[in-house]
Amino acid sequence: MELIYKKADITDIELLTTTRIEVLRAANNLSNEIDMTEVENQSYEYYKRALTDGSHTAYLVFDGAIFVGAGGVSYFQVMPTYHNPSGCKAYIMNMYTKPEYRRKGIANNTLKLLVEDARSRGIDAISLEATRMGRPLYEKFGFVKMNDEMEYPC
């Protein structure tokens, strides 16, 4: 196994978009019959904008020339608070490793690169939404469950 971790750029937009759909299908148990055209189109536009303006960092992982995994972090601004005077936040997303490459440290190494990227930008709190399968990795890395966050389904 010859793993290569590549920081994605605009030339990787097709692979990032395809991977995003693969991640969403896996995380939500969606069959290939479910139409994801709109999500795919919006994801493509998101990557086009966010990779250009720097509001998203993604890493792609290859075993030689074979794509085996990915992960990303989105950056956004909220109003400053006492605990976050800059208002800058980061959100880890799109963590994925092909099934045959799991349990080899790929997700952990990808997560480390994403956290380092966020820290280099002065971010001191990073959030994410964990699947049942991903939760042990994030807990081992040091992520803790949030108790106060809520969501209103519109």
CATH number at residue 96: 3.40.630.30
Cα Rg, the chain, nearest whole Å:
16
Q: What is the DSSP letter of 22?
A: H
Domain count, the chain: 1
Q: pTM here?
A: 0.91
In a domain, 77, yes or no: yes
What would the pLDDT profile of 107-141 be if each residue is shown by its tens digit? 999 999 999 999 999 998 899 999 888 999 999 99
In a domain, 56, yes or no: yes
- Which range marks the domain in which residue 109 is found? 3-141
Q: What is the DSSP letter of 99?
A: G
In a domain, 149, yes or no: no
What would the pLDDT profile of 27-50 be if each residue is shown by its tens digit? 899 999 999 999 999 999 999 999
In a domain, 91, yes or no: yes
- What is the helix (H) or strand (E) element at residue 120, kind and residue range? helix 106-120
In a domain, 125, yes or no: yes
